[in-house]
């Protein structure tokens, strides 16, 4: 029988245990399962899920990545136990970025970098 501290639940994959800025263009999240996600800041801005950035009726993304290439993260604030609110250098701050989605993006970016 496995010891309790050896068992990781499905949700442990989505619990951040650390947040850092490894360079001027990326954020890094360490996860409870030992994983790490390194995500470009301008990628986050282009992926903002708020109603100003994504049409609520059609799902069309209103922000183009090329238009926010210069944007960086100014601040991140934890929202409860499920997300971060991010303020960007273009003053945009209405998106809520769930831990689950940040992990998924990090995994997708890492897989793309290995191809």
What's the CA gap between 71 and 25, in Å, rounded?
9
Look at residue 57 and tell me if it is in a domain. Answer: yes
Residue 67: inside a domain, yes or no?
yes
Q: Which domain holds residue 101?
A: 41-114
Q: What is the pLDDT of residue 112?
A: 86
Residue 28 resides in a domain: no
Count, in order, helices (H) and strands (E) of the chain.
2, 6
**1 pLDDT higher than 90:** no
Write the pLDDT tens digit of every residue in 80-107. 999 999 999 999 999 999 999 999 999 9
Number of domains forming the structure of the chain: 1
- pTM reported for the whole predicted model: 0.85
| Rounded average pLDDT over 32-53 | 96
- pLDDT bracket for residue 7 (50, 70, 90): low
Q: Is residue 86 part of a domain?
A: yes
């Amino acid at each position: 029988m496995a010891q309790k501290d050896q068992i990781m639940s499905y949700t442990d994959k989505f619990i951040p245990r650390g947040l850092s800025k490894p360079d001027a263009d990326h954020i890094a999240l360490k996860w409870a399962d030992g994983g790490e996600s390194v995500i470009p800041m301008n990628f986050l801005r282009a992926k903002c899920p708020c109603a100003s950035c994504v049409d609520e009726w059609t799902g069309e993304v209103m922000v183009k990545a090329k238009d926010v290439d210069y944007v960086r993260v100014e601040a991140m604030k934890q929202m409860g136990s499920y997300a971060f609110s991010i303020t960007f250098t273009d003053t945009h701050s209405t998106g809520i970025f769930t831990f689950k989605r940040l992990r998924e993006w990090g995994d997708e970016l890492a897989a793309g970098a290995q191809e």
